[in-house]
Structures are given as C-alpha cells and as structure tokens.
Amino acid sequence: MSLTRWFGLVGCFALILGCSGDNGGGDTKFISLGTAPVGGAFNQVGTEIAEALNKSEGEKDWKVQSQTTKGSQENIRKLSSGDIQLALSNSAITYFAVRGEGGFKQKHNTRAVATIAPNVAMFITKADSGIETMQDLKGKTVVCGPAGAGFEMFLEPILKAHGLTFDDFNAKNAGQSDAVELIADNSADAAFLGGAVPTAAISQACSTHDIHFIPYDQAAMESLIDEFPFFQEVTIPQKVYSDLKGDFKSMNTGSMHFVTSADQSEEFIYAITKALWENRKNINHPASKFINEENAARYTGTDFHPGAVKYYKEIGIWQGEDDSTEEPAAEEEPADAETESK
C-alpha cells in the first residue's frame, strides 16, 4: 500500500473517531436544527436555540448544530426525510403541511415542540396612494413577499375573507426591504410586510414616507380566527410606528414555532423541550420572551409531540385536553416542489 493511501485511511479513521463524540460514556448524537436564510429572525433564533440547548446542564447525549436552509417549507421536507431532526417553521405553513394542503402534495408528520414569537403582518401603502381599504387593492400592484416564501398560505385566506383573490391585483414578489423601495419609487402601490414587532422594513417605510396602514375588516378577522388556529388578533400600540394614528388592530398570521418529526422518540423530545424551557433566558433574541407559560404550549393547528406534552404537563402549563393519539400518516419520499423562504 502506498504511503499516500495509508495516510488517507488513517485520516478518515481519525475523522470518524472525532465525530463519534463522547458525553457521559455514550456516543454523542449530532442533531441538525433547520433555520432559514442568513439575515432573518428564523436564522438568528434557530442558531441561539441550538447554542442554548448545547449549554444546558445535566446529562445529555446530543449536540445540536443549526443549519441554514431556505426556510419553513424546506425544513418540513427535511424533517420528513430525516435530514434534520429539529427546525423552526411558520405555524401557518406547518398547518397546511400536516394536512397535505396549500401546495403540499402529501401529509407531513411534523409535530410542534414550542410556540414562539408571533408574525404580525399587514398591508401598507403611501398615504397619498388613494388606497384606504383592502378592497381598494383591486387593480393595483401589490408586493406579496419573496418568491417561494409560502406567504400565499396565509395570504390566500386573508384575501378570501375580504372578497379578494390574487387575480384582483398585480402581485409582485420581493423581500421586505426591496418592497419598501418599490413603494418608494412607485413601482408598487402596496406591500404585505411583517414579522416581529417592530418590523424593520415598516419602520424604514415610515421614516421616509407618510404611510397608511390598510386595516383588516373586523368581520373578516373574526372569521379567519374562527376558521384557522394559527390566526390571532393583535393590537399594535401607536408608539411602535411613527405613522400610526392610534393603536392598530392587526393579526398574527402564523407564529414562529419549534418543530420536529413524529418519528423522534418521546424521551429525546422530552429532553429537548426541558432544555429549551430551562435555558430560554439564554436566548438573546427578543422572540425568546414568548417562550413563556401562556404561549409555549399554545396550539396553532399542529399536534404537539408526546415528549413535549409530557414535559408541559409536568410543569403545569399544558393547554390541551388530551395527548394526541393519532397514528402518524404513512409518508412517501418527499415530493413537494416548493422553494422557499422564511
């Protein structure tokens, strides 16, 4: 055997030994946590959750590594295929994924671990655009989020509740900062923007133009909240955005939530849930404040994993009536074609 080949084999063997890890006498399980593209809240929060889980005290046989992905839709498919074990997702997108609806061609066995921060989104326009209500969007050019982001999963129901469809206006795709620029140079009449409050792009728009916040119809909001568990009414205080004329009623259009696959063991997800809860104050992003007694176990349309249910019952914050007893649906090789996002 040549020296080059011999050293190559030794290097490979050393790499295998190094990756096996050891923690308390057992092999370390390397766990991937899917996030989203760099620059957004999902990527930052996911990275900090991974770090917090790894710093948790007590015995554990896992090490969590955050993984940059295209976002919610890709994360759900990767959970189904076993490429990742944990992920962040928008609860509206997960809602349709577990039902095989909204563009998903099959049901995905995704389960919730914790509900995190609300995604508060709304339509904005320049004050002199002539657009006052949702119905005034007809015939206009409207930015509806980045291509492939999955925004249509919560936008379609919102439009439908207001008697609109995507065919009623010219829909453009763009990220949040780009959407503000399109409004600024009159290449778009309105944009659907949102996220954590305050959203930087909305603050940016208010700092450069007089902005009108297009209100949702109260009856439409109530019907959406009744029909879909991921919608919630949210009031934005006037002080949040400089162009608000008063407190503004908007909606949480799908919370950021922490998810996994139904195939993960109860013991493992119990340990992960416990570590997340006990180390939530080590997550520096403002979203961490929503990992609390009122919100963490809140149902948004996706069943919680039994391991999470067990822990939430143990600490007395479980909000459901019974554990989920539904058998996971049989899955084929993931075949969804979406590209993403969030």
CA distance 64 to 27: 14
Q: Copy the structure tokens of residue 100.
A: 């095989």
Q: In this predicted structure, what is the pLDDT of residue 261? A: 98
Residue 183 identity: I
Sign of the C-alpha dihedral computed for residues 317, 319, 322 and 323 taken in this order: negative
**148-175 residue pLDDT tens:** 778 899 999 999 999 999 999 999 999 8
For 13, counting Cβ atoms within 10 Å of its Cβ (0-12 exposed, 13-18 middle, 19+ buried), the class is: exposed
Q: How confident is the model at residue 146 (pLDDT cuts 50, 70, 90)?
A: confident
- The pLDDT > 90 percentage for the chain reads 74
256 vs 4, higher pLDDT: 256
Question: pLDDT (tens digit, 9 = 90+) per residue, 56-76?
Answer: 887 788 999 999 998 899 999
The pLDDT, as a whole number, for residue 324 is: 43
Return the minimum-mean-pLDDT range out of 38-52, 91-105, 128-142, 215-229: 38-52
Written as one string, the DSSP assignment of 149-185 is: S-THHHHHHHHHHTT--GGGSEEE---HHHHHHHHHT
CB atoms within 10 A of CB 11: 10
Mean predicted lDDT score pLDDT of the chain: 87
The pLDDT score that the predictor gives to residue 39 is: 75
CA distances from 238 to 23, 78, 141, 242 (A): 51, 40, 27, 8
